[in-house]
Structures are given as structure tokens and as C-alpha cells.
Chain A
Amino acid sequence: MRPEILILILGMALVTFLPRFLPMALLSRWVIPEKAKKGLEYFPISILSAIVFPILFFNGEGRMEVQPHYLLSAIPVFIFAWKVRSLWGSVILGMVIYWGLGFVL
């Protein structure tokens, strides 16, 4: 391996590991006040919303623009996930619809 690539990988590994590790290492030693726990309770749903919605309304270059291919695939998956709550099913259904729409759009 080329040394400059090794430095790059080790550097990336370090800065990726620290934000993953430090909160878990420190906070699991402390007693967290109930108020703070309430705040943490809404992190998963907020983070997931912030991952999902931009996929539907931003293009690959980061410009805001409705993504019909993604949006039309997403709507049935939202409904299916709501009714069935199956991760496997959602992934397969989403892929099939997206693939099928590719022939139409």
C-alpha cells in the first residue's frame, strides 16, 4: 500500500472512530438526567427524517429538485412499511418498483 494512502485511511479511521466512540464511552459512565433522556428519545426519528426527505427532493449534485423516480418509489414503500412493518419487504418492494419505473419514466 502506498504510504500516502495509508495515512489517508488511518486519518479517516481516527476521525470516524472518535465521534462514534466518545459519547458512548463517556455517557455510559454517567447517570443521565431524565430531561436529557427525553431529548435523546427523538434523535432516531429526527435523524432518519433528515436522511430520508432530502433523498426525495435533492438531486445527486445537492441541488433542490423534486426526484420523481425516488418520490414515486417512496410513496408505496411508506404505505407498505406502515401496514406491514417489514424491513425485508420494504427493501425488495422498493427495489422492484424503482426498477419497474425505470422502464416507464
Chain B
Amino acid sequence: MERLRGLGGPYKLMDGREFKDGVKAALPIVLGYLPVGMAFGVLARNAGLTTWEAGSMSLLVYAGASQFIAVEMISKGMVWFPIVLTAFLINLRHLLMSSTLSLYFNGNRIQTLGLLSAQLTDESFAVAMSNTSKIENRPGYLFGLQITSHFAWIMGSVGGALFGGLIDHKSYGIPFALPALFICLLIIQVRKVHHFYIMLVAGIFSLFFKWALPGNWYIILTALLASGIGILINSKVQSSKAKVQNSP
């Protein structure tokens, strides 16, 4: 009964230990988000946004790539509609991540799901997926992970907008912080031999689609095609295992 009364229905949102675990898991993301957020703050100020506007965008939109493209389009004098449409297209890839996460939060309350999904990013999704046993019906963990990352993003943006010139965001290896994070998160997903092949197939697809198509379609197309091939490879592996087991 105690658990039922918690915020978030049968699963408490605010389990202190899970929340703390999530906060700790976010630290590598914080390391990447602070400087990249600062870069956003600087560019936003250069494009004519106030510190308040840049901070509000990081608070309410919280989507790195589309925020950078938005300030780029603002500085070119574009009005809001094409910018919003671009943000929509860029963030369609979250459909896939949100679908994947839904498997781990079956039956949670809609408010809990709303809160968790509002702060979904590529980085927090990838960290969550690096150890799925920690997120299964543990909204507190994911919430701690995501709100810490979001906080770092807002702090970075506001800091960059206020003190932009102080740190050169192209120096100290800062441009490689998030790529290095993604490389490690990718490697963590490679747990079996056939995962390695899926990684290579997806890598080749992504290069081809990015080369051949405009915008960010390459991520969605790659994910759909490479997962399809993954299912084929997996069923091959399963059936060859079955054959080995059946042979004398």
C-alpha cells in the first residue's frame, strides 16, 4: 500500500536511492553538456537573443541540434515557422527512442511518462540503455539521470550567454566530449558478435543516407533498416543454434 500512494502510481517517482543513482549516472553527460551548452549560449547571444531567451529555450525546448540550427536560422533573419518545422523534423528520431523506452515503463501513470519523456535526449537515452536493468519500472532513476543532464544544459547555456568570451569552446578537447561519450555508449551496446555486425551495417547505412538525403532523415532510416537486418541476423543465429542442438 505504501508504494501505491507514491507519486507515479504503483512505482514511486521519487525513490531517493534510485534518484541518486540516476544523478550519478548523468555525470559523464554533464561533462559534455556544460561546454556544449556554453557554446549554444554564446551563439545565441551572437544571433541577437537575450540571456533570458537563450535560457528559456534550453529550459523549454532542450534539444541540442535543433537549438543550434534555430540560432543559425535566427541570425539569417528567418521567421518562426521554418525554424519550428526544422526542429520537428530533427526531433522525429525521438519517436524511436521513446518507443524503446516505453517497454520499460509499462503501466506507469501518464504524468510520470510525461515528465520522463519531456527530458528525453540522445545522450540520456543512450546512458539509460547502457544498463536497462536500472531503468525497468524505476522512473526515479531515469528522472535523476535526465533532470541532472537538463540542469547542466540550462546552466551551460546561461553561463555561455553571460560569460561567453571567457572559455574557448573549441579548445581543451571540448568538441570531442560528446563524440567520445557516444562512442563508449555504442561500444556498451555491442554485447554479442551479431551486435558488431549490426553496428557496421548501421554505420555504412548512416554514411550513405547522410550523403544521399538532406536533413536528419539518415538517423531514422538507418535505425529502421539496421534493426530489420538485426532481426534477420538474430533469427539466423537462433536457427543455427537450434540446428546444432538438434544434431547428434
Indicate with 1 or 0, residue by residue over A63-98, a CB within 8 angstroms of chain B CB atoms: 010000010011001100110011110111111111
- Which 3 A-B residue pairs are closest in the complex by CB-CB distance? A94-B180, A95-B173, A49-B202
Pair A13/B61 contact, Cβ less than 8 Å: yes
Pair B230/A85 contact, Cβ less than 8 Å: no
List the B side residues contacting A39 at CB < 8 Å.
Answer: 227-228, 230-231
Given the known interface contacts A16-B62, A43-B227, A55-B179, the answer about A90 and B184 at a Cβ–Cβ threshold of 8 Å is yes
User: Which B residues from 169 to 210 make CB contacts under 8 A with A?
Assistant: 171-177, 179-190, 195, 198-200, 202-207, 210
- The answer, yes or no, to whether A105 is at the interface (CB within 8 Å) is no
| B56 nearest CB neighbor, chain A only | A9
List the A side residues contacting B219 at CB < 8 Å.
Answer: 47, 50-51
The segment out of B108-116, B151-159, B239-247 that lies at the interface is B108-116
Pair A41/B176 contact, Cβ less than 8 Å: no
Count of chain A residues near B, Cβ 8 A:
71
- The answer, yes or no, to whether B1 is at the interface (CB within 8 Å) is no
User: Which B residues from 84 to 110 make CB contacts under 8 A with A?
Assistant: 84-85, 87-88, 91-103, 105-108, 110
> How large, as a class, is the contact surface on chain B?
35 or more
The answer for the CA separation of A53 and B176 in the assembled complex, in Å, is: 13
Pair B205/A91 contact, Cβ less than 8 Å: no
A interface residues, Cβ below 8 angstroms from B:
1-2, 4-5, 7-13, 15-17, 19-28, 32, 35, 37-55, 57-58, 62, 64, 70, 73-74, 77-78, 81-82, 85-88, 90-99, 102
- The answer, yes or no, to whether B31 is at the interface (CB within 8 Å) is yes
| B214 nearest CB neighbor, chain A only | A62
- The answer, yes or no, to whether B14 is at the interface (CB within 8 Å) is no
Interface of B is mostly: helix
List the B side residues contacting A47 at CB < 8 Å.
Answer: 93, 96-97, 122, 125-126, 219, 222-223
List the B side residues contacting A77 at CB < 8 Å.
Answer: 180, 183-184
B98 interface neighbour in A8, A22, A92, Cβ under 8 Å = A22
The answer for the CA separation of A78 and B80 in the assembled complex, in Å, is: 40
A60 CB, min distance to chain B CBs, angstroms: 10
The answer for the CA separation of A95 and B53 in the assembled complex, in Å, is: 30
Pair B84/A11 contact, Cβ less than 8 Å: yes
- The answer, yes or no, to whether B75 is at the interface (CB within 8 Å) is no
Pair A45/B203 contact, Cβ less than 8 Å: no
A61 CB, min distance to chain B CBs, angstroms: 12
User: Please, could you name 11 A-B residue pairs with CB atoms under 8 Å apart, sorted by A?
Assistant: A2-B53, A4-B79, A10-B60, A12-B66, A12-B67, A15-B87, A19-B91, A19-B93, A20-B118, A40-B100, A40-B103
Of the candidates B62, B102, B177, B222, the one having the most CB atoms from chain A within 10 angstroms of its own CB is B102
A94 interface neighbour in B49, B84, B179, Cβ under 8 Å = B179
Pair A9/B57 contact, Cβ less than 8 Å: yes
The answer for the CA separation of A92 and B173 in the assembled complex, in Å, is: 9
The answer for the CA separation of A77 and B79 in the assembled complex, in Å, is: 41
